[in-house]
Amino acid sequence: FAPIGFFSLGQTFQVTSQEATKLSLAFSRPPLPSAEDCRKLSEDVQNAILAVATVYYWLPKGQGTTLRKMVRDATTEVVEGMIQLTDTILNAPEESLSQEQLISTGGVWEACEHVSNLPRGEYNQAAVVSALAACLGVVKDAVEEMEHALVEGQDPYGDIMEDEELGFRGNRDTYWSEADRQLLSSCMGLMKASKACLKKVLAAVKAHGKADSPEQIAQLDDLADIANEISPSVDELALSMYPPVNPLAVRLNAAKLASVLKKVLEIAKASHVCPPSEEGWVQFLTGAVDHNMNKVKNFTQGQL
């Protein structure tokens, strides 16, 4: 990706981050900027925003859809963050640095950092790594939350206060039966397979991912697109696992997740990120998905 104007992709966002810092610092302590200083600050901020927008609109589509989405989202966050920062400064008491101003400035920094930290020359590969890492983080949290809820004897609604009108929560629908727990253990196997799948694909993209050709870029984008479906599928399965458990709903959501995982593994295996040295874990995880899905089917067969 060739530099646009005087700045590369990352440098443009770095400049925008610096302009947000300058604007925030100018209104963080007395004396307040003069009218001329305010005009200059406004021009610099406007030019930085226009440069960021220009980078996005001039970004070749051939560089990858994952990269374009990341730059688009970052551009939106930067524009919204600058608007929020400006509003905060205008509405804050004079000569004071509010918590809202600090938060707004940090929001612009974070949005700019997502793009400016991408390694030069490997933008789409790095964008896909970032997307996969984000998915992995969400799935990890979901798995840990469900593992915590499934601790033997634990009430999954234990953190909810009893209702003043209904009194104690004696309803059996707030607890898992032994049959429920047997079914959910297989669902947990699928959720853990989701985490392992994302972890392995992420490592493979880091180790072998390239963006030297349109085919490689397209394969990376395909991986990012299908991986983005894992987290929502995990969430849907997790929600259906809470009591009262509907076994057919659990089976349906488990099947959806298993289908997504199989697709991720198929796409990974067929891509350049999966040389022969990586095929072992693909085969193992494919077997793990099938094994746990078959157990879910067995536990729910009588409900059909």
> What's the DSSP call for residue 244?
S
> What's the DSSP call for residue 33?
P
Asked whether 295 and 271 are in contact (CB, 8 A), the reply is no
One domain for residues 180 and 288: yes
One domain for residues 248 and 282: yes
**Model confidence pLDDT, tens digit, residues 49-69:** 999 998 888 888 888 899 888
Q: What are phi and psi of 162, to 5 degrees?
A: -65, 150
pLDDT value, residue 3: 40
Q: What is the CATH number of the domain that holds 195?
A: 1.20.1410.10
Which residues pair with residue 163 across a beta bridge?
A: 167
Hey, how many other C-beta atoms are within 10 angstroms of the C-beta on 67? 29
Q: What is the CATH number of the domain that holds 27?
A: 1.20.1420.10
Q: What are phi and psi of 167, to 5 degrees?
A: 80, -150
One domain for residues 253 and 132: yes
Q: How many domains does the chain have?
A: 2
Domain coverage including residue 176: 123-155+172-300
Assigned token pair, 233: 């599928």
Would you say residue 167 lies in a domain? no
Q: Provide mean pLDDT across the span 13-32.
A: 89
Hey, how many other C-beta atoms are within 10 angstroms of the C-beta on 186? 21
Q: How much is the pTM?
A: 0.78
One domain for residues 26 and 150: no
Residue written as token pair 């990974």:
268
Closest CA to 184 of 151, 223, 218, 137: 151
One domain for residues 185 and 263: yes
Would you say residue 165 lies in a domain? no
**Model confidence pLDDT, tens digit, residues 197-251:** 999 999 999 999 998 899 999 999 999 999 999 999 999 999 999 989 999 999 9
Would you say residue 1 lies in a domain? no
Distance CA 148, CA 263 (A): 29
One domain for residues 127 and 113: no
Q: Is 7 helix (H, G, I), strand (E, B) or coil?
A: strand
One domain for residues 279 and 237: yes
Assigned token pair, 78: 């930067």
